[in-house]
Each structure stands twice: as C-alpha cells, then as structure tokens.
Structure 1
Amino acid sequence: MNAWRAIERARARGTTDLGLVAIAALVTLVLAAYSGTTGGNTLRERTFDQLTALAGVTTIDEPVVVDIDRRSLSEVGAWPWPRADLATLVGAIADAGGKALAIDILLDEPDDRSPAGLARRLTEFGVPLDVDPATLADGDTSLAKAMARIPTVLGVGLAPQEGTPVRSPPIIVRGTFVADGLWRSEGIAGPIAALRDGAAGFGALALPGSLDGTIRNVPLLVVAGRQALPGLAVELQRNAQGAPPILIDPDADVMQVGERRVPLGTGGLMRLIPVSRADRAARHVSAADVIAGNAAEIARLAGRAVILGSSAPELGGLRTGADGSLVPSIDLQADGYAQMSAGAFPIRADDALTWERVAVAVASVLALLAARFLAPLTGAIVIGALALAWIAGASVATVSMVLVDPILPAASATITFALGSLLVAAQARRQARRVQAAFEQHLSPAVVRRIAASPDTIRLKGEAREVTALFTDIEGFSAMTSAAEPEALIGLLDAYYDVITSVAVAHEGMVAKLIGDSMNVLFNVPVDLPNHPQWALDCALALAEASARFEATPEARLLGLGRTRIGLDTGRAIVGDVGGARKLDYTAHGAAVNAASRFEQANKFLGTQIVIGPGTAERLALDLKPLGRFIVRGFPEPLALHTVWPEETGEDEKAEVRRAVAALSATPLVIDKLTPQAYRALLAGEEPRIAS
C-alpha cells in the first residue's frame, strides 16, 4: 500500500511538472509570437517613446521655426500665398542673418497669382495680351532672388512616378554601400525649374509612419528614382555647416554630415526623441512677426538655422506624434535637426528582437522553477525582483539610447509564475482575503459588512466615479524627526494615527494611504456615500479639533508635534486596485486627488490649517471663507481656494475679507512663492503684488 501511495505521489508530481512545462512553453510561444505582431510592435514603440522622452537631451534654441500659423494666414492672407509674399518672408529671414533655411513646403507648381503668372494663364487660354508676360512682376523670380541671399534647402516629395531629377549633394562612400535597405520611391516631385536652380540643396519632405500611424522617424537618406537624397533635416544641417560633402562609412554604419556623426540606423531612418509642446513652442516665430518687422522676434533668427513651414491645418502638414497629438511636420523636421546637433540617437540593434525572445524563454524557465521549488511568497519576491531588474536595466538602456524592450521578458516571468503557482481551488479564497485585507482597516465596520454581504457593489479592477480626497500632514515633521528618539517617535506616530484614522473612519471615509506623517482619505469609495463633500468637510473640522487635543498631550508637547494641515477637493477619479498578484493597493487617480495633495501643502504658504478646493466648494451649500485665486503647480488654470470662517467672525469682517480677496484675485498669485506673512500683507494692501 505504501509503495502504491508513493507511486501516486510521484504521478501527481509528474502531472504538475508537465503542467508547469506546458504553461512555460505556452507563455513563451504566445509572447514571442505577440512580439512580432502589430500590437506587440506598437506596445514596444510606445514604451520606447515614453522612456526616450526621459533623456531630455534635445536642444530648443536651434533650429528656429518660422511658422506660417493661423495668425499669419489671418493677417497676410489665406493659403496659398502669392510667391511675392513668400519672397518677402525669405528675404526677411536672410536680412535677419539666418545661416541656412529649409522650406518644409513643396513648391512644385508655378506661381499663378503674380501679374506674370496671371498673364501666362491667360495666354494659355488663348486670350491675346498687349504685354509680354516675361516683362511683368513674377513671384517665382522674386522668390528665387530672395533664396539667393541665404543658403536655401527646398523640399522634395517622394512620388510613384519619375519626375525631374534634382541636384544631389556630394556623397563620398568609404568602401561599398548597399542602399537596398533605404526608403525608396519610384520618383520625385520636385520644385519648379525657376526655383530649382537657385536652391543650395534639396531634402526629402516625406516622413515615414509606424504601424500605428505615428511618426517616430525622420529620413536621413532616401532613394528617389535613380538618385540618393538626404532628408530635409540632414540637408539643412549640411548647409548650416557650409555644405560639406556627406561621408558614408558602411562598416561603421554612420553618416558624417559636417561635424555631425549620425548612425544610419535601420533603413536610413533616425528615431525621434519625443519633445514637449512647450519646448517646440519655444523655438517658434510667427511668420506674421517676421513680415511685420518685429525686431525682438527677428533677432532670434540671427546666426541660426531656420525651418520655414506651417502649423496651420489648412496646409495639411499635421502628423500624429509620439504622444498621440497632431504635430506639424516642421516641428518633426526641427526635432530631427536638434537631435543631430545634440548627438542623441536612439539605436535598436538589428537582432534585438531575437535576443528579447530568448530572454522571454529564459524568464519563463526561471519562473517555472520558482513556482515548482519555492514557497509562494519567496517565489514572488524572487521573480518580482528579477522582473524589476529586467525592467530597470532595459529602461536605463533605453534612456541611454540603446532600445531594449522592458516589458515582454518581465511579463513572461510574471505570467508564468502566476499561472504555475496559483491553484484554481484557491482562487475564490484569495479573492475573499484580498477584499478583506484591502478594506477592513480602512473603512467603518458597517461599510465592510455591506461589502461582504454584496461584493458586487464595488469594482476592485477600476471604475470612474466622483470622489472627495482629503490629505493631511504634520507641520514641521521633518525637523521633529531629526531631534526625536526613534522609539519615542514611532510610539507617538502610532498614537497619532490611531486618533486621526478613527476620526476618518467615523466620518465614512476610507483611509487609502498612510505615508510618513501623511494620511490620504477618500470619500464616496468604494461604495456610494451621498453628500460626500459635506462628510469630508466635517471630517476635516473634526481632524483639526482632534489633532489639536492630541498636540496638547505631554508626549506630543515633549517631541514638539506640529499642527495638522488639511487639504481637500472633489472631482472625477479612477479608483481601483493597483499592484501585482501579491500586493494590491486600492487607490484613486485623478486631478482632484492631486489637487487635494497640493492644497494640503498650500497651508504652509497661506498660514491656514484647512484649504478647500474649488471642486468641493462648489458642491457645498455653505458660506466659506475665500482665500483668492492662485496658480498651483501642475494645474494650467488659476484655482479659487477657500477655507472655513472662524466661529467668531462677524458679518462686517466677512464683508471686508471678501472685498480684500476680490481685489487680490484680479491677478492670480503663484502660491509656491508666498509666505503666510506675505499673504497677510497682500490682503492688507501693505506690499506690492507678487508676480503671477
């Protein structure tokens, strides 16, 4: 009998091992296959977008983008402009001392709005004229003359049929260069002959889209018909450096453009590093200002490379950028130029995907072994550490411009371990424990009983709902910790948290987080709480009273416990469990949550104890004390903040405070630049206003 039982146990272990091997093999095959799909590629590319954006290496002072924006179209005229207006603009750029100019507009049609152009059109239709069109003012001729005053790169389009060839730059190849991998087209659509002869160079305007339609690359070198052409940004770089030959070293896989040594990359494309809207806007100059002779704006062009194009949708130059927004093609070309100037080139090895698939397989095997031989908690720690190590290493490599997928190998280890270590029979018990652990120490007993009785009343995996968020912290806590004994400090904090969490739970709040000296309480989660802004305000008042009593205790006075500061706001938020299989945190994400945290910090600048945000104030049918309108870090618009009136405040005093705050709010104040003394003085009209 014992021998039979031993055989049964061995058979069970064998079945488990086979199941683990099957799980690891399935996860490896699925993730390896997914990595080559459109979805896998898009996920990987978007991850690279986020990580390379952290590098922060792109310069913004050059090139300067002269933008034919909507204001320019309104002031100068609708598009297309007469070439005479373009000539005026190019001439102004030349007069300003720009060192080189690239025009991100395809000028492939003759001007038909100048006198000469109109005359030519009439002649084509057989209308007899008493004047020779060649003797009339010609916008194309004017533009060509303006181009002759500054090295000008004209844009060339890629076309499915052969067009008139343009002059290629001198290209010197060291050894043998096989151009089969370059982006190519059957022909080109180039500028008209009247402009072609006066151009200093020609660059490809086309920008290749990724599988998801996002523009992540600019071309360095393309093959159009039978000739090789640089991208617009490359040719502008070359002309800005005196138009030296382009040197190609196939062995090193680099292209030398003057002083710039640029990796050729896959297909002769350079990956763009995402640039913020603010950085892009900083290098823009409106074409209207250049034409109007705005001295301050024109001065920015001196000694710099310039790209002329348009951000106006009417010109059709908008492309999908890495952040999902529409970005003008001039900005993408400018990003490429700036990257070359900064020497920042994200590189992905040709065989990177193969090695990442190997890493997926290795991660699955390690997770299998952890699930088979380690205790669940130990295995989770080991696999979690390995996954985090891969994510961290790959992220650091990507930020350092070597693109490595941080997601799929880590996902392989995590998924394999989770599937291999969890039993179906334990799934329901684990869910029950998770609900209990998530809420029993954060909610009132009545709410916990309600959740236990009706689990469907909450959605742990995430939902959008209106919440009121409340944050607290202790004034002067950092200074107190440096002077206090560890045991005394921890004991005091335990007692303090016992007081304030009891107050929060008594007011139907959910204690979401306790971090250091801070508490985060959420109202109207995880179940509905009618009139939750009022509950939150009542909680804030009770917290102020309870913490004041606690501050008066001998233990608190001995350590110098400071006042409790409170901030709250109301708005929509995403709430739910965040975390991995072993560690979950029910929390909220949204502007109102961030705002409540900022408002708690605002107390130290305003000298208040409770700051109430606009979202909460507008939902309360109460007479609140206005504090003014402030610019708060992280929020684009000024915010009106309030607090509660002291009980002894009379109506006359309230009216005086309202008048003073109204006068102060005419221009919002930057809250981080205030001190309580400066704020009180401003209310009293005793100091000049602080710059907003």
Structure 2
Amino acid sequence: MADPAFKPAIATGLAAFILGLGFLILNPGNAANTLREEAFDLIEAGILAKRLPDGVVVVAIDRNSLAEKDSWPWPRARYVDLVSKLQDAKPAVIGIDILLNGPDRRAPGPTLRELAKSTGRTDLNTVAASLPDDDKALGDTLARSDVVLGLLLDEEGKDEPPFPAMIARAKGAPTPQPSQAAEGVDAPLPVLVEGAVAVGALSFSAGTGTKVRQAPVFVNAANEDYAGFAVEVFRDTQQASAFVIDPDGATVSVGDRHIPLREGASIRLHLTSPLSWAARTVSAADVLDGKIPAERLAGRIVLIGATAPEAGAFLATAVAPNTPTVQVQAEAIEGLRSGDIPLRIHNPRLVEPVAAAALGLVALAAALWLGPLLASLILAVLILGWIGFSVGLFAGTGLLIDPVGPLIPAVAAANSALVVMFARTRKLRNAIERKFGRYLSPEIVRRLTAAPEELRIEGELREVTALFSDIEGFTTMSENAEPRTLVGALDAYFDGVCAIVIRHGGMVDKIVGDAVHGLFNAPLALPGHARVAMDCAIEIGRFTQEFRNREDARKLGFGRTRIGLDTGPVIVGDVGGLGHLDYTAHGDAVNSAARLEAINKQFGTTICLGARAAKAIGAPELMRPLGTVVLRGRAAETAVFSPWPDDATPQRRQAYLAAYELVKQDSNQALALFKGLAEQWPGDPAVAYWVKTLS
C-alpha cells in the first residue's frame, strides 16, 4: 500500500473494470452483441457440424439451368415440368424456396389481359381465356403431392394472407413472441396456395450484425402466425398435423420431436462446410433432362431453390458471405432432423456478467499484487482458459457461452492498473532517485577526490548521532498529487533539509522516499555531535513549518515533518561497489532514531530524542521529558525527550516539570496541574497529551 501508484492503480483498474462490465451489460450500439456473435461464428466455423447430407436434396436453378432451359425468372410452365419430374421420383416432400406471387407475367394469357386493360380491346380477354392457364396448371400439379410454398414478410405487402400454421398450445403455455413480424405479406398466388400442404416464411433476419445466424420457428405476418419454411417442411416429414407449444414455452413439439423455442422464436444454425453442400445438390436442368435417377430423390426432402447469381437469393452467413438461401434452408432442416441446434446457456444475462466480474476481479488483483510478469501470465491463463472452456462447452454440449465479452473487464482492468503502476511509479521514483547524488556529504566528495584509493572505505565502529526525518501523511499526499508538482516540491524540501544537515556538519546518509537520514560525527569527527544534531533538528523543524506555507506545499497538503534523534555506536563504511557508493551506518542508534521519529505521533511533537542522545547532550535544561515508552522491537522502557518549544517561557517550563514529577506519585493532582497549564498554554502538544492520557 506504500507504493504511491497503488491507489491510483486501484482507482484506474476499477474504473476500467466497471467500464468493461458496463459495456458487456449495457451493450452500447449493440457492440457487445456483435462481438459475441462474431466470436460464436469463429467457434462454429472451427467446430463445423458433422452431418451426412443424405436427408435433403437441393434442386438448384443454377447458371446451367438458366442457360439451357429459361432465363430468370422462370415461367410457371417450367415449374410444372420440374415439379412433375420430381413427383415421379416420389420424394417425401417438396419445398419451393422461391416466392411464387402474382400471375405468371411470362405466360401469354396474363400478357394479353394486361394488353387488353391498357388498350381497351376487350376481345383480347376472350383470346386470353382460351389459352392454357399455367398458374392453374401449377396449382393442380402441386396438389398431387406434399409441397410446401413460401411467403415473405413485407410491411407494404398487400397480398392475401394464405392459411396460417396450425399451432396448438398446451395448457398454460405462453403465446410465442416472434422477433420477425410485419403488417403485410408477399404471398404465393391463391391458386397455388390451394395446391400446397403448407406455406412457411422464407424471410430470414440478420439479427446482430449482417450475418444470418438463425432460422425462424414462427413469424407473425398480417396478424397471423406462420411457421418458418424449414420448420414447415420438417413438420410435414414428421406427419404432424400441428405445432404444439409445450407448457413451459421453451419448446414446440412437432410429432415426437421437440424444437427449442428461444431467441425470438427461432433456432440457431450450425452450418456444415460449404464444400459438403455439393453432395446434396443437383441441377434443375439435369432433373428436367431425366439425368437424376429416381432413387436419388425417393423418400427424400427435396428443396427447389435458385443458386444462380441472377436470382439474387443469397445471404451472408458464418461460413460464406454469399450463401444461397436454399442451402440455408437445407442446413436448417438437417439441424432439425439431427437435433444439432446450438443453444445459448440458460440465463446468459446473469451468468456471463457474473463470470465477467469474477474474471475481472481476479485479473485486477493479480495486476495490483503480483507484479507485471506474473500478472500478465495469469491474465493469459484467464483468457486462454475462458476461451478454451467456451469452445469445449460448445463441442461437448452444443451450448454457447460468450467467449469474448466476459474477458473485456479482465483485460481492461489488468492492463489499466499495470500501466498506471508502471508509469506513475517509474516517474515518481526516478524523479526522486535522480536527486540522491546532490545530497552526499562534501567531506566524502573531497576525500574521494583527494584520495581515489579510498574509494572503498573500510568499516569502522564509531559513535554517531543519527537523525531520521519523515513527512507526515506522505503516502496519501503522493498518491493524490500531480507528479510534476510533487517532484518540484520535494526538490525544494530536500534542498532545504539537506542544506541544514550539511551546514551543521552532518552528512546526508540517504533519502528514502520522503525520509532524510542524517549522521553526525561520521565520516569525520564532530565535537559535541549530539548537541549539534539537536540544534540541526530544531532548525529543520522551523524550516519545514515555514515550507508548509508555500503555495505549492499548501496545494499538496504537505504534512509536518517529524524528527527522531539518538546517539550510540554504529558501524559505518562504504557499502556497494565502484558503480554505486553508499557510505552508510548500521547499528542500534540508527534504528532507534527511526522509531523515535514515529513516537512523535504519540506525543504530537516534532522532535523526539532518545535517552542516550539526551545524556550525550548533557544539558537537561534544554530538553523536557515526555515520558517513557517501549520502542517497537524492544522489551524495555526508555525515556524520551523533546527540545523545549520556542513559546516555552520559564513559568511554563517550571509548571510542566512540576506536573510531570507528579504523574507517577499522584496522577489526579498531576492532571489538575496539566489542565491548568493547558489553559495557559493551549497549543502545546505535550501538555495536551498528558491531559488526554491522565483523564
């Protein structure tokens, strides 16, 4: 937590996590859904359906058929010939994936009627009536076997709606809510509808993005419910008279089969490879020429559809940008026959955000506490693990769970936190560390310049007075500060403090974060070093109090400086190599000075001296006793002192010492004296400490 980049990293990481989770849940501009569907496409393309194309035969009106038989659109007479040829082979059902709406404009009869209407020659109607009616002929042909026709949803469609699908509902079953609906239809000619066993919806909805990924189970057109074309064809093969909505509304029964009724009353397509479609496809021209053996068609589901570019009957799917609609219908029927229908997991709107939250928090925690390398490794494991789980779930069960969306909060949170920690920590630490060389003792510099052979100074035991200063609340300040402002203020602060230490004959041992470590009586002898160190601490206290009133320090919320002093034998010497000289001290006095600095928090003082430093100074009139404490890591109590503050008049000093002497003898009387002194000396922290402690 001491790292100044930690809190900003948490804030940035959490913000990125929330934004990522919000993107997944709120789905702005349908972007999250688009990303998810594209990921599903990749999974489904990687795990293509493995179905033998032996149930459906596609009779394609391809380029060869248009070149050899008729240009597009075909006249009804050509359909009469084609359907008749197919009926001779006795297929289970014929589905025509072509909208046969309106009269046949290529037949002579309708042409003459249009001419009679435009010219007023009524005799042409008589001639037209005497000509063969190809529409009626096709209707009669359709009636000889099970044939399913198709209609299209059209908001502006004015055709007469054909008979709707037979839909029954089990008791308590809800009404289906199709995602595809329109006020009108483009429907087959009524005379053709009369010969058909069913009419299904040919319309596909691209849904998310531009690709068709679903086939309708039900649609609503002109206020009537119709089944999708593929579903109607499948129903006929099941010899089911009606669709039955199951009680829970999640499935629809077709004979002994149950079709999932999800995602806007549609089923998701799981396509096979386009390379396999050729095995189920024959040319309409070959059928008309009698080149296709009857056993190739007998008992099969036969779909008639256009695959020639002139017809324009193409859709973008997950496996091909230009997929003939008749092949999509064939894939839907094969999926219904085999039960190979991909399903979203149950309640994805809850499961996927929960998974996203879990993945994101794990990734953020790793970024904050484990370091960049290990955090990156964990993030990679999370990404690969989740994608692998999604792929494995689909491969094993046919269930689809979003493989990408739940990873967005994890990637956003982890990377944002790592970037902030790296950038902020590097900027702050490099800016501070670059200054260390400026605060080495001039004595050390002169000594090394004059005698390079002393570059490695041997260790020696020396009595020193150690000074340890620290800025109150520095961690919070650095976390919230603008780096340039903070570094600039610290430059001025360290310049002032270090200059005072050096001016008093001490050396700046090191600067660690916001702390200045000073040594007195090293590396050269300094007479009266304990007293000098106390005078130095007093001057630092005055300087830092004035420094806090600077404009930049006020904006930063610069805390007061606390100082600890202690005296004792330590080992001093050069630690390090030629690349980095670090003349420093190791010993109890250094540790005590650091702990005494922290004791200022307890007493509210600026400077705390240990008992050994007070004894070395040898001037009790300059110091007031604060009490006895047990320093951190020690077992025995030790007395601590502080220099008298500037506003300590002789009367206040005498009153304080009198009250202090009674603390152990008569605490009630001591409290009364301290309370009286507090009224005279309201700003003194030591008096306030004893009033609070004895109360």
**What is the TM-score when the length of structure 1 is the normalising length?**
0.57
Cα pair distance change 1:221/1:275, threshold 3 Å: same
Q: Does 1:184 align with 2:207?
A: no
Q: Does 1:200 align with 2:201?
A: no
Q: 2:302 aligns with which of 298, 303, 306?
A: 306
Counterpart Cα distance in 2 of 1:181 and 1:148: 30
Q: 1:51 aligns with which of 43, 49, 69?
A: 43
Counterpart Cα distance in 2 of 1:182 and 1:42: 17
Counterpart Cα distance in 2 of 1:312 and 1:323: 19
User: Which one is further off, 381-390 or 82-91?
Assistant: 381-390
Q: 1:210 aligns with which of 207, 210, 216?
A: 207
- The alignment partner of 1:60 has SS state of coil
Counterpart Cα distance in 2 of 1:230 and 1:169: 6
Output the amino acid matched with 2:109: A
- The equivalent residue for 1:247 is 244
- 1:205-244 to 2 correspondences below 5 Å: 205-244=202-241
Cα pair distance change 1:251/1:44, threshold 3 Å: same
Residue segments in structure 1 that go unaligned for 5+ positions in a row? 1-9, 429-692
Q: 1:378 aligns with which of 374, 379, 404?
A: 374
Residue segments in structure 2 that go unaligned for 5+ positions in a row? 428-695
Q: 2:88 aligns with which of 69, 92, 95?
A: 95
The higher radius of gyration belongs to 2
Cα pair distance change 1:283/1:387, threshold 3 Å: same
Q: Does 1:412 align with 2:409?
A: yes
Q: Does 1:274 align with 2:271?
A: yes
CA deviations 1:484-512 (Å, max 9, x no partner) are xxxxxxxxxxxxxxxxxxxxxxxxxxxxx
- The equivalent residue for 2:317 is 321
Output the amino acid matched with 1:114: A
- The alignment partner of 2:344 has SS state of coil
- The equivalent residue for 1:424 is 423
Q: How far did residue 285 of structure 1 move?
A: 0.9
- The equivalent residue for 1:394 is 390
Q: 1:20 aligns with which of 10, 19, 33?
A: 10
Output the amino acid matched with 1:416: A
- 1:159-178 to 2 correspondences below 5 Å: 159-161=154-156, 163-174=159-170, 175-178=172-175
Q: 1:68 aligns with which of 58, 61, 68?
A: 61
- The equivalent residue for 2:359 is 363
Contact 1:384–1:414, Cα closer than 8 Å, also in 2:
no
Counterpart Cα distance in 2 of 1:366 and 1:288: 62
Q: Does 1:153 align with 2:148?
A: yes
CA deviations 1:242-293 (Å, max 9, x no partner) are 2421111140510112233110111111111133111222211110100111
Please report the RMSD computed on the Cα atoms of aligned residues, expressed in angstroms.
2.4
Contact 2:113–2:124, Cα closer than 8 Å, also in 1:
no
Q: How far did residue 340 of structure 1 move?
A: 0.3
Counterpart Cα distance in 1 of 2:279 and 2:107: 34
Q: Percent identity?
A: 34
Counterpart Cα distance in 1 of 2:314 and 2:336: 22
Per chain length, whose mean CA-contact separation is higher, i.e. which structure has more relative contact order (CA < 8 Å, sep 6+)? 2
Output the amino acid matched with 2:245: I
- The equivalent residue for 2:19 is 29
Cα pair distance change 1:179/1:262, threshold 3 Å: closer
- 1:536-615 to 2 correspondences below 5 Å: none
Cα pair distance change 1:29/1:415, threshold 3 Å: closer
Counterpart Cα distance in 2 of 1:355 and 1:114: 59
CA deviations 1:308-334 (Å, max 9, x no partner) are 110112112111111351111111111
Contact 2:61–2:305, Cα closer than 8 Å, also in 1:
yes
Counterpart Cα distance in 2 of 1:180 and 1:252: 10
Counterpart Cα distance in 2 of 1:14 and 1:317: 63
Contact 2:150–2:187, Cα closer than 8 Å, also in 1:
yes
Counterpart Cα distance in 2 of 1:231 and 1:184: 12
Output the amino acid matched with 1:81: W
Output the amino acid matched with 1:88: D
Q: Does 1:293 align with 2:290?
A: yes
Q: How far did residue 32 of structure 1 move?
A: 3.2
- The alignment partner of 1:153 has SS state of strand
Counterpart Cα distance in 2 of 1:88 and 1:265: 40
Q: How far did residue 131 of structure 1 move?
A: 4.8
- The alignment partner of 2:406 has SS state of helix
Output the amino acid matched with 1:204: A
Contact 1:106–1:157, Cα closer than 8 Å, also in 2:
yes
Q: How far did residue 26 of structure 1 move?
A: 1.6
Q: How far did residue 415 of structure 1 move?
A: 4.0
- The alignment partner of 2:72 has SS state of coil
Q: Does 1:41 align with 2:33?
A: yes
Counterpart Cα distance in 2 of 1:182 and 1:260: 23
- The equivalent residue for 1:77 is 70
- The alignment partner of 1:202 has SS state of strand
Q: How far did residue 121 of structure 1 move?
A: 3.1
Q: How far did residue 47 of structure 1 move?
A: 1.2
Output the amino acid matched with 1:16: F
- 1:454-603 to 2 correspondences below 5 Å: none
Contact 1:58–1:335, Cα closer than 8 Å, also in 2:
no
CA deviations 1:70-119 (Å, max 9, x no partner) are 11000002112221111000111111111101111111111133343334
Q: How far did residue 55 of structure 1 move?
A: 4.8
- The alignment partner of 2:219 has SS state of strand
Contact 1:24–1:364, Cα closer than 8 Å, also in 2:
no
Counterpart Cα distance in 1 of 2:124 and 2:403: 71
Contact 1:115–1:138, Cα closer than 8 Å, also in 2:
no
Q: How far did residue 130 of structure 1 move?
A: 8.9
- The equivalent residue for 2:624 is none
Output the amino acid matched with 1:318: F
Counterpart Cα distance in 2 of 1:146 and 1:28: 63
Contact 2:220–2:226, Cα closer than 8 Å, also in 1:
yes
Counterpart Cα distance in 2 of 1:89 and 1:426: 78
Cα pair distance change 1:111/1:398, threshold 3 Å: same
CA deviations 1:403-453 (Å, max 9, x no partner) are 11112333433443333335138999xxxxxxxxxxxxxxxxxxxxxxxxx
- The alignment partner of 2:3 has SS state of helix
Q: How far did residue 136 of structure 1 move?
A: 2.0
Output the amino acid matched with 1:227: E
Q: How far did residue 358 of structure 1 move?
A: 2.6
Q: How far did residue 132 of structure 1 move?
A: 4.9
Counterpart Cα distance in 2 of 1:291 and 1:411: 56
Q: How far did residue 18 of structure 1 move?
A: 4.1
Matched residue pairs, number?
417
CA deviations 1:3-26 (Å, max 9, x no partner) are xxxxxxx5x436513422431332
Q: 2:130 aligns with which of 135, 138, 142?
A: 135
CA deviations 1:131-159 (Å, max 9, x no partner) are 55333212112211221222111111112
